[in-house]
Amino acid sequence: MSMKSTILGLSLALAFGVVNAADPVFSDAELKAAASLRDAALTGNLSYKILESLTTEVGPRMAGSPADARAVAWGVAKFKELGFDKVWTEPVTFPAWKRGVETAEILAPFPQPLSVTALGHSVGTPAGGISAEVVRFATLKDMMEAPAAALKGKIAFIDHKMAKSSEYGYVQQGRSRGASEAAKKGALALVIRSVGTDSHRLPHTGVMRYEENVAQIPAAAISNPDADLLTRMLARGKPVSLKLTLGAAEAGSYTSQNVIGEITGSDKPDEYVVIGGHLDSWDLGTGAIDDGAGVAITMGAAEFIKRQGLKPKRTIRVVLFANEENGLLGGAAYAKAHEAEVAKIQAAAEADSGQGPAIKFASFVAPEALPLVKQMYSVLAPLGLAAGENDANPGPDMGALKALGVASFGIGLDNSDYFNLHHTPDDTFDKIEPKRINQTAATYAAFAWMAANAPISFGSGSAALKKGAK
Amino acid sequence: MSMKSTILGLSLALAFGVVNAADPVFSDAELKAAASLRDAALTGNLSYKILESLTTEVGPRMAGSPADARAVAWGVAKFKELGFDKVWTEPVTFPAWKRGVETAEILAPFPQPLSVTALGHSVGTPAGGISAEVVRFATLKDMMEAPAAALKGKIAFIDHKMAKSSEYGYVQQGRSRGASEAAKKGALALVIRSVGTDSHRLPHTGVMRYEENVAQIPAAAISNPDADLLTRMLARGKPVSLKLTLGAAEAGSYTSQNVIGEITGSDKPDEYVVIGGHLDSWDLGTGAIDDGAGVAITMGAAEFIKRQGLKPKRTIRVVLFANEENGLLGGAAYAKAHEAEVAKIQAAAEADSGQGPAIKFASFVAPEALPLVKQMYSVLAPLGLAAGENDANPGPDMGALKALGVASFGIGLDNSDYFNLHHTPDDTFDKIEPKRINQTAATYAAFAWMAANAPISFGSGSAALKKGAK
């Protein structure tokens, strides 16, 4: 049991599975409908088809790029085509960024080109590139511990190898913070080993941030095989010089849209379950696993409820968030726009870690709703999900809602191969397996149906959840 | 038993394993030395280190590129560093080719960039590219059966999917011949699905040829995921237009070198066993499996014999062939330069299908030498090799020697994953597994030692082999 579930007052009786006569329960008919929805969705292929459409007809859709508007138009049209009851958009404004040319080559002692990509929001180099000696560090921490001015006139190389998915949060700090830390020690540019678990010649991009009042230096990632190569060259003990050329630049303010589709509730249309994914992707691939999958899983799950002839009591709202990749901006805009309705949001759950399968079901609800969570879990467990604690992470774009005290769910997905593809050109539709995405869509469909039909509120806006979210 | 071994007069007695008192045999000491060499090389790591050096210190080395001369210099220096008794080069002259810029993008109905690479020796497009509608064919054959002028003003797309390594010879015809066949029907350009078994966003290059008196149109390969994407777009039934821009061009005549190193024989220094690989690689990767592995396996095998303190009776000659990729030109030059010495070549065997492990041992020898082949096989079999027939293919660059009636050996390598990497940027050193390349080097070391010490000639230049090679 986690600290948070204790804070939320989860009683021992509930923890040990004793059901009290006064506990809220789903009707047998609702549970049966959820189970039959779950089973039917397992072979539905609806999310698979939606994802095929998005990756084929839109493809790469970096926030603020010309494809951003095409993605928004696709989202609106697809919701309408699927027969959602209500479809609209809400604006999200942010600074856009463009990639431009990107090349890297070893100049000496062993001239070779490297596979490189700029990190999101990096500045560019001068047109003629930056040529300098490379200084390697095993980790960001090692670089930060180097003497002041140790990188003066040099290109910093953070060679932190990500061995497995669970290391992402730690290793990606070199990507997000490395440039400013390198600049503090006088570096001219930063090159990092790709934050990814594959061994292909496809570098992983991702967003970076500059600290205020620190020189802004260009930052790029080389592929894992290229990092291996550079490390082997450096191991020979002689100076290695690299030329890096990036045409990256900020591209002015851009207004995109959160795209929203609703299946209107029959009993409580103004209360809603919000599920979704983010519509933007990086520009290198076609955003199949990140996050076309989340878009397709949640659109497909909601639509599948309707196709089964089921009418949810509360509204099911699917939100396709704008610009997650450059700082969860669609999620922040959504939370701000809907702050006044917090108590009306029955539940929030984003899908943003690939195609699945779903492997875990965690909640973040008021104590009185926990018996319902147990019943929901009993419907999902046959899909192979483990039970989580009452401390769910509802996904990056829903984090802002949880912070407001919105009841949240975390449907954990198997991400063991996710970081092979994440943020690379290789994030394409051919990697999607119908069996995997169907299972995830089935999980979301059954979950959303039950959340919409729960006999009581899950506690959004309550003191318990506001406190627990802190 | 194959037709060829019958032609060569393989007796039934030999086929059934009966040994005659008059048969030539290796001494027990020689067989023991071969077995101990084999076992020691299995953990030698010598070829692994040589390949690390080539891929790190030279990297991509396309024939006729600036890296060609660096590769030749590396070969000469490495042979000397390893202590080969004699090191020299022999010239190979050929037309060079350069790659230049290469981009492809869908213009309509769904604008997206594609991952593309020019085929070797393709002409370029005009600087502004070629934009035209795409017409898809499942295979080269299907395209050839299309009506005359069916491709007038269009870009031909051969979408032939290579499912497994054994299909390479068949599927690659679309790459080598497709452009001229498309041009005959009026096409402006050819795009093919990559000839490879992977699903990564890394297109496979490879050589193509223009037929005489047919218009020369640009030819390029897109990656397998991109071919999937294009096929999905076309399946929607509306015209798909593509823009292809290639800066490829012929680059004048270039003289490279076959690089040769010898370990001089103690008894018959003017007779020799020739092993080797090709030194050139495509420019996209660092040529680790194609064919740095062959270079390293054979250099390492010969050197390992010496390091074990063994003195071969005949000379062991390692040839690093120039420009295999654009038409086996180093192999042809070597055969021409050494035509007069055919009878002195005890055996020929190239390594050019990756890192191994070795899985098969085939010969092409005169009938009287077959008992020796059986003994050689008995030493190699514990490494897991199957016995082949007496119709060996000695590898692409040695084919010209076999055609002259040189006794040849075919050491078959496991190539089940070879065409995931072949001719792509992903052909890099990180893909090499010490255990695999060590086993292959052990096979070549034991083979070369036994071939050099065989009590009789394997029959090079004999009537039987000259006839059998036809």
**Distance of residue B197 Cα from the nearest chain A Cα, in angstroms:** 13
CA gap A149, B64 in Å, rounded: 43
Q: pLDDT value at position A19?
A: 58
Partners of B222 on chain A (C-beta within 8 Å) are none
pLDDT tens string B261-276: 999 999 999 999 999 9
A120 touches chain B (CB under 8 A): no
Q: Kindly report the average pLDDT of chain B as a whole number.
A: 95
A113 touches chain B (CB under 8 A): yes
CA gap B326, B64 in Å, rounded: 10
Contact B56/A232, CB-based, under 8 Å? yes
Mean pLDDT across the stretch A327-349? 97
Percent with pLDDT over 70 in chain A:
96
Nearest to B275 by CA among B89, B55, B447: B447
Q: pLDDT value at position B22?
A: 80
Provide the ipTM.
0.94
Residue A324 appears among annotated catalytic residues? yes
**Distance of residue A418 Cα from the nearest chain B Cα, in angstroms:** 14
**Distance of residue A58 Cα from the nearest chain B Cα, in angstroms:** 6
Contact B430/A224, CB-based, under 8 Å? yes
Phi, psi for residue B238 in degrees, rounded to 5: -105, 155
A229 touches chain B (CB under 8 A): yes
Sheet holding A241-246, edge to edge: A112-114, A102-108, A241-246, A130-137, A155-158, A189-193, A219-222, A116-118
Q: pLDDT value at position B149?
A: 87
Q: pLDDT value at position B468?
A: 87
The H or E element that residue A114 is part of is strand A112-114
Res. B5: pLDDT tops 60: no
pLDDT tens string A93-133: 999 999 999 999 999 999 999 999 999 999 999 999 999 99
User: Where does A314-357 show beta strands of DSSP type E?
Assistant: 314-321, 345-350
Nearest chain B residue to A420 by CA: give it. Answer: B200
**Distance of residue A313 Cα from the nearest chain B Cα, in angstroms:** 38
Res. B202: pLDDT tops 90: yes
Mean pLDDT across the stretch B250-255? 98
CA gap A191, A143 in Å, rounded: 12
Nearest chain A residue to B54 by CA: give it. Answer: A110
More confident position, A22 or A23: A23
Res. A13: pLDDT tops 60: no
A205 touches chain B (CB under 8 A): no
CA gap B96, A98 in Å, rounded: 36
Give residue for tokens 């919701």: A79
CA gap B191, B220 in Å, rounded: 5
Contact B232/A52, CB-based, under 8 Å? yes
Partners of B224 on chain A (C-beta within 8 Å) are 430
Beta bridge partners of A52: none
Of A57, A199, A424, the CB nearest to B110: A57
pLDDT category, B20, cuts 50, 70, 90?
confident
Nearest to B383 by CA among B444, B334, B310, B297: B444
Nearest to B411 by CA among B267, B207, B273: B273
Give residue for tokens 């594959």: A198
Of A110, A232, A428, the CB nearest to B225: A428
Mean pLDDT across the stretch B92-106? 98
A415 touches chain B (CB under 8 A): no
Contact A424/B67, CB-based, under 8 Å? no
The H or E element that residue A142 is part of is helix A140-144
Q: Which residues contact A85 (CB under 8 A, 6 or more apart)?
A: A262, A263, A264
In Å, what is the CA distance from B191 to each residue of A113, A268, A351, B227? Answer: 25, 56, 37, 9
Of B110, B200, B233, the CB nearest to A200: B200
Give residue for tokens 């659109």: A299
Contact B199/A430, CB-based, under 8 Å? yes
Res. A372: pLDDT tops 90: yes
Q: pLDDT value at position A3?
A: 36
CB atoms within 10 A of CB B253: 10
CA gap B66, B283 in Å, rounded: 11
Phi-psi region of B40 (alpha: psi -120 to 50; beta: other; left: phi over 0): alpha
Q: How far apart are the first and last CA of chain B?
A: 18
Contacts 24+ apart (CB under 8 A), B329-333: B329/B63, B329/B92, B329/B94, B330/B92, B330/B256, B330/B258, B330/B278, B330/B279, B330/B280, B330/B397, B331/B278, B331/B396, B331/B397, B331/B398, B331/B399, B331/B400, B331/B401, B332/B400, B333/B90, B333/B91, B333/B92, B333/B93, B333/B258
pLDDT tens string A310-337: 999 999 999 999 999 998 999 999 999 9
How would you label A409-430 residue by residue, b for 16+ Cβ within 10 Å and e otherwise? bbbbbbbebbbbbbbbbbbbbb
Partners of B60 on chain A (C-beta within 8 Å) are 112-113
CA gap A281, A205 in Å, rounded: 11
Active-site residue, from A181, A262, A271, A324: A324
For chain B, count helices (H), then strands (E).
16, 16
pLDDT tens string A253-265: 999 999 999 999 9
pLDDT tens string B290-335: 999 999 999 999 999 999 999 999 999 999 999 999 989 999 999 9
**Distance of residue B67 Cα from the nearest chain A Cα, in angstroms:** 9
Contact A115/B201, CB-based, under 8 Å? no
CA gap A297, A50 in Å, rounded: 8
CB atoms within 10 A of CB B19: 12
pLDDT category, A16, cuts 50, 70, 90?
very low
Q: pLDDT value at position A149?
A: 87
Sheet holding A249-263, edge to edge: A86-98, A249-263, A314-321, A268-278, A345-350, A408-413, A358-364, A386-387
Contact B57/A202, CB-based, under 8 Å? no
pLDDT category, B15, cuts 50, 70, 90?
very low
Three-class SS of residue A327?
coil
pLDDT category, A6, cuts 50, 70, 90?
very low
CA gap B170, A211 in Å, rounded: 56
The H or E element that residue A351 is part of is none
Contact A111/B228, CB-based, under 8 Å? no
Active-site residue, from B181, B262, B271, B324: B324
Give residue for tokens 């085509």: A81
pLDDT category, B16, cuts 50, 70, 90?
very low
What's the pTM?
0.94
In Å, what is the CA distance from A117 to each residue of A122, A189, A247, A252? Answer: 10, 13, 11, 21
Instruction: Tell me whether the omega of the peptide bond preceding residue A283 falls within 30 degrees of 0, making it cis.
Output: no
CA gap A257, A255 in Å, rounded: 7
Q: For residue A144, what are its two tokens?
A: 């930060």
Q: For residue A233, what are its two tokens?
A: 């060259």
Three-class SS of residue B411?
strand
Partners of A428 on chain B (C-beta within 8 Å) are 201, 225, 228-229
Partners of A70 on chain B (C-beta within 8 Å) are 111
CA gap B355, A419 in Å, rounded: 27
Residue type, position B219, single letter: A
**Distance of residue B56 Cα from the nearest chain A Cα, in angstroms:** 6
Beta bridge partners of B86: B262
Phi, psi for residue B86 in degrees, rounded to 5: -145, 135
Three-class SS of residue A244?
strand
Beta bridge partners of B440: none
The secondary structure of residue B340, as a DSSP letter, is G
Phi-psi region of B384 (alpha: psi -120 to 50; beta: other; left: phi over 0): left
Nearest to A313 by CA among A451, A139, A197: A451
Nearest chain A residue to B421 by CA: give it. Answer: A200
Q: pLDDT value at position B18?
A: 52
Instruction: With beta carbons less than 8 A apart as the criterion, state whether A119 and A106 touch.
Output: no
Nearest chain A residue to B225 by CA: give it. Answer: A430
* Structural domains of chain B sorted by starting position, each given as residue range(s) with its CATH number in brackets: 3-96+253-468 (3.40.630.10), 100-247 (3.50.30.30)
Of A59, A110, A229, the CB nearest to B112: A59
Contact B424/A201, CB-based, under 8 Å? yes
How would you label B397-407 residue by residue, b for 16+ Cβ within 10 Å and e otherwise? bbbbbbebbbb
Three-class SS of residue B228?
helix
Res. B2: pLDDT tops 80: no
Percent with pLDDT over 90 in chain B:
93
Of B56, B115, B200, the CB nearest to A229: B56
Nearest to A355 by CA among A45, A78, A70: A45
CA gap B291, B49 in Å, rounded: 15
Instruction: With beta carbons less than 8 A apart as the criterion, state whether B327 and B387 touch.
Output: no
Q: Kindly report the average pLDDT of chain A as a whole number.
A: 95
CB atoms within 10 A of CB B384: 13
The secondary structure of residue B417, as a DSSP letter, is T
